[in-house]
Amino acid sequence: MKLTLLILLAVIATLGAADKPNVLFIAIDDQNDWIGCLGGHPQVKTPHIDGLAARGTLFTNAHCQSPLCNPSRSSLLTGLRPSSTGIYGLSPGIRDVEQTKAHVTLPQTFTQAGYHTFTCGKIYHDGSFKPKDRGPEFNTWGPAPGTGKPKKPFANLPEPRHPAMDWGPFPERDEDAADYKIASATIEALQGAPKDKQFFVAAGFRLPHVPCYAPQKWFDLYPAATLQMPPVLDGDRDDTPRFSWYLHWKLPEPRLHTLKERNEWRPLVRAYLASTSFMDAQVGRVLAALEASGRAKDTIVVLWSDHGWHVGEKAITGKNTLWDRSTRVPLIFAGPGIAAGAKCARPAELLDIFPTLLELTQFPARSDLEGHSLVPQLRDANAPREWPAITTHNHDNHGIRTERWRYIHYADGSEELYDMQADPNEWKNLAADAKLADVKRDLAKWLPKVNKKPVPGSKSRILLYDAATGAVNWEGKDAGASDPIPD
């Protein structure tokens, strides 16, 4: 009898493990809401991501934790806010930071649990994981090809320029592009995944990050003569604090006036759209391979972008801001236990992906994660949600996003407030309106209580503010209160 009971318990445990779903984890780089199902651009063509949204739940009000690659990805994969770790710049990586060097990450959780784990392309920020630290994260690290470059740049920009500041039709064939190779490696991983265990397969696509390159046929989807440009307002920054400029004080991404002067705004918009559609086609190849594997019904697919990207709005290009164009991202879950064809307008954070996947895959909840599971909204898109989305860029600068409001509080105390229902382009800063003082006060309650200064080794896009003196320092150089805003 005792032996029979032990055998029964062993069988139950085996069945429980077999019931756990697989995970296909798809990351996109610098993708804003110019996705068909999000309605960010009226002409964009993304049929494969739209199809994924149709069979799952789309979060229409999802936001990143940081509008920069390394801190955003570090936050998502550790489940910790940038303000809690002090990781704000393009370096260091999490294993070079005392607080996070032994922290069990999202992929490491699945590796330790016995999943077959694989990654290719850009999941962690490029170069943030030294080879010696890679072993515990994934069983297999696949290829992470770079974008490549043509013989000479396409874009007519001032020299010297950063090599990533370019856009145009390159390479000639889809097969020669980085994202095609990343999709192919992911397809091989899905085809070769062991049948006797669950898998966690992560694919990190590079587009539409600059340089925005795609073969000519993807540009042909967007004829220059009929291209619709994003809405911009002359003088849009007149009612924003000077501190808003410090967050992207001097960067390689060109300002809007430079693009206009050199007739490069339209080519950039066209290239961003072409790159997005090419990337979408690679997502489609991966999703088709999942279906062909026969394991789609047992696989949770989560698709996300690390942050958005300005394409002229607020007079800039690039990210590094606390406005919706920089923070709003695609976030889609599809698979077992997830409502199909649903759209959720509740605020969601990339930070929520970690606890959500733990719950969906029946792992114990963890008290050391700062996000909140989205499972209630995956079952009912209208389920209430207590928390706003919080985005941080460098120390003490935060954006709070609810269904109606965006509130920004900068390190020097200056503020912005936007009614996102009445003013989705964030053209009218309402922070000085005395009638909205209570609104600001309620939103300010969500500002992080912990605001660590940058960790040792921080560099690239690091902004420092000294509250005692009012001194501002950008990437090691002081920015005077009367210094002209850099071109």
Instruction: Find the mean pLDDT for residues 80-108.
Output: 97
Q: What is the pLDDT of residue 371?
A: 98
Q: Measuring CA to CA, which residue among 151, 143, 156 is closest to residue 171? A: 151
Q: What is the CA radius of gyration of the chain?
A: 22
Strand, helix or coil for residue 279: helix
- pLDDT, one tens digit per residue, over 264-300 is 999 999 999 999 999 999 999 999 999 999 999 999 9
Active site residue 69: yes
Q: Which amino acid is at 407?
A: Y
d(CA 252, CA 267): 17
- The predicted-structure confidence for 61-70, as pLDDT tens digits, reads as follows 999 999 999 9
pLDDT band at 248; cut points 50, 70, 90: very high
Say yes or no to pLDDT of 18 above 70.
no
The span from the CA of 222 to the CA of 289, in Å, is: 28
Residue 464, number of CB atoms within 10 A of its CB: 21
Q: What is the pLDDT of residue 99?
A: 97
Could you read off the pLDDT of 300-321 as tens digits, one per residue? 999 999 999 999 999 999 999 9
Which residues are registered as beta bridge partners of 169?
214
Q: Residue 7 corresponds to which amino acid?
A: I
Q: What is the pLDDT of residue 7?
A: 36
Mean pLDDT (whole number) for 433-444: 98
pLDDT of residue 11: 34
According to the model, what pLDDT value does residue 487 have? Answer: 87
Q: Are 216 and 172 in contact (CB under 8 A)?
A: yes
Residue 157 has pLDDT above 90, yes or no: yes
Q: Which range is least confidently modeled, 5-19, 165-179, 298-312, 390-404?
A: 5-19
C-alpha to C-alpha distance for 454 and 88, rounded to whole angstroms:
6
Q: In CATH, what is the architecture of 23-234+248-401?
A: 3-Layer(aba) Sandwich (3.40)
Calpha distance 260→279 (Å, rounded): 27
Catalytic residue from among 41, 63, 125, 398: 125
Report the alpha-carbon distance of residue 47 to residue 1 in Å, rounded.
58
Burial class (CB in 10 A: 0-12, 13-18, 19+), 343: middle
Percent of the chain at pLDDT exceeding 70: 96
Q: Which amino acid is at 346?
A: R
For tokens 């440009």, the residue is 229
What value does the mean pLDDT of the chain take?
95
Q: What are phi and psi of 391, to 5 degrees?
A: -115, 140
Catalytic residue among 37, 64, 69, 344: 69
Peptide bond into 336 cis (omega under 30): no
- Two tokens, residue 413: 């105390």
**Does the structure show a pLDDT above 90 at 8?**
no
Say what the pLDDT of residue 19 is. 81
H-only helix segments in 293-401: 324-327, 353-360, 375-379
Sequence-distant (6+) residues with CB within 8 A of 471 are 464, 465, 478
Mean pLDDT computed over 333-348: 98
For residue 9, pLDDT beyond 70: no
Asked if residue 4 has pLDDT above 70, the reply is no
Give the number of other CB atoms < 10 A from CB of residue 470.
9
* Residue-range domain boundaries for the chain: 23-234+248-401
Q: Could you list the beta-strand ranges (E) of 60-173.
A: 62-63, 116-121, 140-141, 167-169
**Sign of the torsion angle spanned by Cα atoms 216, 220, 225, 228:** negative
